[in-house]
Each structure stands twice: as C-alpha cells, then as structure tokens.
Copies of this chain bind each other. A is one copy, B any other.
C-alpha cells in the first residue's frame, strides 16, 4: 500500500529507429568496425574512462571517437590529446544519439582507417537507453556519488546495457555506496551483466575492464569474419 497515488503521464515515443540501427550494425560488420556506445549520467566519468581505455587498446586497434554533446567541445579536445581520430557531434539540443545521427556521424568521420569506434553519448540515463544506435556493444557507467539506488530509478538503462562500470569506486566510503546491494539490484534487471568497479581517475580496475572489452572485440571479429 502506498501513501500516495501513482498516475501515468505517458508521452509518445518515436518509431523506426530499430530498423535504422540494424542497418548501421550490418554496415559496420561488413567494414569490420566495432562500435561501442558509452552511456552515463553527466559527470559520471565517460571521458576519463575513455582516456584509460584508449591508452590500454591503442596499440592493438586503430581507434576513433565520436564525442556527442549538446554543446561545447571540451571532451573532444581532451580525447584529441591522445592522438586518436575524433569527431565532435553536436546534437542541437537533442538529449541522446539515435541510429540515424550515429550513421551520419560515422559517415562524416569515415571508417577506412578504423577498427574500433567509441561513441560517447550525451550524459543522460533516460533517453540514450531507448535508442539503439547500431553499436555492437553498449557500455554503461554508473558513478558512486549517484547512489546505489539508481538501478531502481533508471531500470531501462541497466537492462539494455551489455556491461556496467561502477566508476569513482574509491569514493564508496564517502557516499555510503553499497557495492553488493547495487550489484544485486543490477542483476535483478540484467542477470548476466558483467560489473567492473573502477576508478578511471586513478586506474583501479581498468585492466579487468579493458581485458574484457578486448575479448568482446576479438570474439565479435571472429564471429563476423568473412561476412
């Protein structure tokens, strides 16, 4: 029994993105380019995590990064410092990337000299979860200061993601963050999802995450060989 009423205020959601996403995915398979869709709240550490991930994988793969932002180019500047190929996508107010926007970004960037593309999505736990971009892998970052209750409040993002990084893990004592409780809530939504506690700033846990990512890329490549 609740002490309050629950009232549904639904809004219409756009369609046809799924088909466009499948198109993006099959084009990238043909070109042997592995696309990662990186999603989180604002300030959860997407860019810092990308810096660590690029450092770990840049000797093995030719990496490109698409930085999606409503405005600014702060993150693209940071990523450009690593020497990988970067394109800044301005979404003109849109709070997420959809498959069509992703396709146009990829076409504009070009894929001939790339093995792996990271799409740093808009900082948002809601809309990006609803829009398949055509990525081979969806990676979500939750940061400790956001709280261990976030799987309860933004369940779709946790359901659709293929793996979860719990970032800023070194601050767990400061925020009373219960890692095991969080893990349970995550696995209630997505039972087999790998969870990597990391500190992208300090480097803790990055090896386990990048080793796993490397395995995903290799097994995807193996699967699509000769297609």
- Asked if A214 is at the interface (CB within 8 A of a chain B CB), the reply is no
Query: A155–B93 Cα gap in the complex (Å)?
Result: 10
Interface size grouping (class) on chain A: 35 or more
User: Known pairs A4-B80, A8-B92. 6 more at Cβ < 8 A?
Assistant: A7-B90, A9-B92, A9-B97, A43-B143, A70-B156, A95-B127
Instruction: Tell me the number of copies of this protein.
Output: 2
Closest 6 CB pairs of A and B: A43-B146, A10-B92, A145-B145, A95-B126, A11-B94, A3-B80
Q: What is the distance, in angstroms, from A181's C-beta to the closest C-beta of chain B? A: 13
- The proximity string for A residues 98-109 relative to B, scoring 1 for CB distances below 8 Å and 0 otherwise, is 100100110011
Residues of chain B contacted by A171 (CB below 8 angstroms): 145, 171, 174-175
Say how far A44's CB is from chain B's closest CB, in angstroms: 8
Bound together, the chains give a CA A3 to CA B79 distance in angstroms of 10
Which single member of B6, B13, B42, B108 contacts A5 (CB below 8 Å)?
Answer: B108
Q: Say yes or no: A43 contacts B150, CB within 8 Å.
A: yes
Q: Which of B71, B73, B124, B152 contacts A2 (CB under 8 A)?
A: B73
- Structural contact, B42 and A72, CB atoms closer than 8 A: no
Task: Tell whether A136 is near chain B: CB-to-CB under 8 Å.
Answer: no
Interface pair B74/A153, CB less than 8 Å apart: yes
Q: List 29 A-B contacts (CB under 8 A).
A: A2-B88, A4-B67, A4-B85, A4-B88, A5-B87, A5-B108, A9-B92, A9-B104, A10-B90, A10-B94, A11-B92, A11-B93, A41-B42, A41-B146, A42-B150, A42-B153, A43-B143, A43-B145, A43-B147, A43-B150, A71-B152, A71-B156, A74-B149, A95-B126, A95-B127, A124-B124, A126-B127, A145-B145, A171-B171
Q: Please, how many angstroms separate the alpha-carbon atoms of A127 and B149 in the complex?
A: 22
Q: Are B8 and A90 in contact (CB under 8 A)?
A: yes
